[in-house]
Amino acid sequence: MRADTAIMTQVNDKISTRIDGDIGFICSNNPPVNALGQAVRAGVVEALEALNADPAVKAIVLYCEGRTFFAGADITEFNKPRVPPTIQEMILALENSPKPVIAAIHGTALGGGFETALGCPFRVAIPSAKVGLPEINLGLFAGGGGTQRLPRIIGPEKALEFVLSGKPVSAAQALALGILDAVEEGAPDAIGAAFARRVIDEKLTAVPVSRRDDKIAATRADPSAFDALAAKLTARSKGQEAPAANVASVRRSFTLPFDEAMAIDAEANRALMAGSQSRALRHLFFAEREAARIPGLPEGAKARDVAKAAIIGAGTMGGGIAMCFAGAGIPVAVIDTTQEALDRGMERVRTNYATSVKRGSISQAQMDERLALITPAVDRAAVADADVVIEAVFEDMAVKQEIFADIEKRVKPGTVLASNTSALDVDEIASVLERPGDFVGMHFFSPANVMKLLEVVKAAKTSPEAILTAMAVGRRIGKMPILSGNCDGFIGNRMVAKRSAQAERLLQQGAFPQQVDAALTNLGFPMGPLTTNDMSGLDIGYSIRKRRGTPFPIADAIVESGQLGQKTGSGYYRYEPGDRTPRPNPQTEALILETSKRLGIERRDMSESEMVERLLFPLINEGARIIEEGIALRPSDVDLVWINGYGWPRHLGGPMFHADEAGLPHIVARLRAFAADTPGDPSLQPAALLVELAEKGQGFSEWQKSRAAN
Ligand code: COA
């Protein structure tokens, strides 16, 4: 579209302008995602002034080079002093421009980027573009006028759904909602110019969005539907600040004049940004991107292509893993020893899919497509053309070793051989292999088709290519892969063991199950640790403790009384038939009292804050050891393990983030007190790294940054 006559002017290193006939263009080039940093904002304002001052220009197209239209405010500027012009000021300049501005969108116009487009009188996009206000995912709301302008285009109720979901919508959906004026194939500047032509020739005008009233008038007259919707959509966001702040801000769109609402928005968003919840969510945004980087691998090491997969074991885990591959469009063989086991496994997969169809999360056609990608087989020969084979059979070393020794002979060279073990030594499994470099742990979490966490476990001889392949295929099948070294329990379960030990001790010393669980659910955890144990089955932990000779007197007594959790109708709690609501269990409470007595422990009242610290600080301490031993690459990886696999609420950032917020000196002092109180448990002594950082007045986050910089 760039005519030869167009003269390009570089406004600054991010923004340029050109004029082609009577159309002016403002172009941003700020890789990777055209974030609206200060130079971009200042450049856009300056370019706009220049084009408005040029009498030849009749309409202006705003577009971006590279992979996307502005993908939002520059998140890295959030912690720094603001340098004008602000996004709000830039958007007002666009909205009040004497010459009409057409935003021409490609890629993802998100947050401040979408708000910029909403400020332009006209908006066009290419079909693959998406627009959205994902600020809620960062603990904020769209403070650049998104929560004020969007309701004026699509009505407050739809706007509320839009901002609370945080999910982008497609260009076609945006067009249908009236957010876009046109969707056309072509280069962004070309479709922008074509629309500008129409604006000029047909003398199209648009009332600036901030001055429109028609879509908000009905809600202003009767907000009851809005309020009911707000209550429904925020019912499950207990303890989170951002959902309520989004509701309040959208509400201001129909209760206050635009300028007043904007002024309050600015204050409210500033407060959210300074708060710990938004800090936590921003921390996770960067943590998720950082987790894919594996330092220290040889240059040129690459993931291998994965076109086909095979799973050994058609149990709940194997079937769930197969569903992940099928969901990503990768053909997968599921292999088990008997037809009966396979049939049972495939039936479970079918039932899971049918439930998703019923819920509307996938269509019947998608279910059929996915099922067609899963091939059941009784013969291990089905691994022959797989690029990755994942073993998901029960935890028995001899069985796993036999499987790997056998399939190694049946696969192509270079096929990655992975074990889903959660409890066995990956080096011992790999010891039977002739090509241990191709072996890696891939520890999925149950239910594997739902849980996002994938611990990729590096055995001593795992090759860089096998690590990279497991990490890459993990992302492809929708998981959050985190690299872990080999140790008992890897990252997550090794830490959770410390929490379980504390939960047991709290029960011995005076608490009842509902108090222990409430300490964490009141913080925002979806489920307490003892309810979780009841759900998974108490026999699992029992048999591990027996094997290791580490008794938990109360937990063991519950199992020995025949109560195994939900599956037997009672455990820490009692369950009514067909109902998973945990209710106080008098039989277990009696067992708890008896056990305390037998152990000679005088039961005492405990505050909720004591229980929280006892449940969380020892696991944080173990996290610090896992980091200092190099089992986890970095503190933020440990946070992601807990967020994606153990129900740690996102707005609380994960254990190592929480440690920084609580203050490491406080944690060290509390751990020393716990250790003094429990002489038999040396693991409660604060980890060396924790003590070192506390003494230096640093946090894990600073430590991670300083290591990344070196
Ligand atoms: N500010 C600063 N940096 C940003 C950014 C932003 N708004 N959005 C993305 N980046 C950075 C990422 O950190 C990453 O940097 P890295 O390569 O150093 O890790 C890089 O841009 C590419 O982002 P990535 O997410 O890896 O690319 P993608 O193509 O998978 O996704 C987006 C692109 C835009 C969809 C995604 O980055 C995103 O959702 N960004 C946040 C958008 C947002 O929340 N905007 C509202 C902020 S107010």
The full set of domains in the chain, from first to last, is: 8-271 (3.90.226.10), 309-484 (3.40.50.720), 511-516+526-598 (1.10.1040.50), 608-709 (1.10.1040.10)
- Residue 229 tokens read as 């919707």
- Residue 685 tokens read as 């002594």
pLDDT score at 527: 94
Tens digit of each residue's pLDDT (9 = 90 or more) over 197-240: 999 999 999 999 999 999 999 999 999 999 999 999 999 888 89
Q: What three-state secondary structure class fits 485? A: coil
Which atom, in ligand 1's list, is nearest to the CA of 111? 46
pLDDT score at 2: 47
pTM beyond 0.75: the answer is yes
Tens digit of each residue's pLDDT (9 = 90 or more) over 508-565: 999 999 999 999 999 999 999 999 999 989 998 898 899 888 899 999 999 999 999 9
CA of 33 to the centre of ligand 1 (A): 6
Is 71's C-beta closer than 6 angstroms to any atom of ligand 1? yes
Query: What CA dihedral angle connects 6, 7, 10 and 16, to 10 degrees?
Result: -10
- Residue 100 tokens read as 């009409």
User: Distance between CA atoms of 208 and 165, rounded to whole angstroms?
Assistant: 26
Q: How confident is the model at residue 187 (pLDDT cuts 50, 70, 90)?
A: very high
Which atom, in ligand 1's list, is nearest to the CA of 134? 44
CA of 117 to the centre of ligand 1 (A): 18
Which atom, in ligand 1's list, is nearest to the CA of 67? 29
> DSSP string covering 396-463, please?
-HHHHHHHHHHHHHHSPTT-EEEE--SSS-HHHHHTT-S-GGGEEEEEE-SSTTT--EEEEE--TT--
User: Distance between CA atoms of 658 and 681, rounded to whole angstroms?
Assistant: 23
Is 168's C-beta closer than 6 angstroms to any atom of ligand 1? no
- Residue 519 tokens read as 């300490």
Q: What are φ and ψ of residue 376, in 5° steps?
A: -75, 145
Q: Which residues pair with 484 in a beta bridge?
A: 457, 632
Is 72's C-beta closer than 6 angstroms to any atom of ligand 1? yes
Contacts of residue 587, defined as CB under 8 A and 6 or more positions apart, other chains included, come to 561, 563, 570, 574
Q: What are φ and ψ of residue 457, in 5° steps?
A: -105, 125
* Order of strands, sheet of 130-132, starting from the edge strand that comes earlier in the sequence: 108-110, 130-132, 169-170
Contacts of residue 293, defined as CB under 8 A and 6 or more positions apart, other chains included, come to none
Q: C-alpha distances in angstroms, 117 versus 133, 146, 209?
A: 12, 10, 11
Q: Going by DSSP bridges, is the β-strand pair 573-574/583-584 parallel, antiparallel, or unpaired?
A: antiparallel
Is 109's C-beta closer than 6 angstroms to any atom of ligand 1? no
Q: Tell me whether residue 283 is one of the annotated catalytic residues.
A: no
* Catalytic residue (one of 443, 651, 658, 666): 443
pLDDT score at 406: 97
Tens digit of each residue's pLDDT (9 = 90 or more) over 385-439: 999 999 999 999 999 999 999 999 999 999 999 999 998 999 999 999 999 999 9
Is 108's C-beta closer than 6 angstroms to any atom of ligand 1? yes
CA of 134 to the centre of ligand 1 (A): 11
CA of 71 to the centre of ligand 1 (A): 7
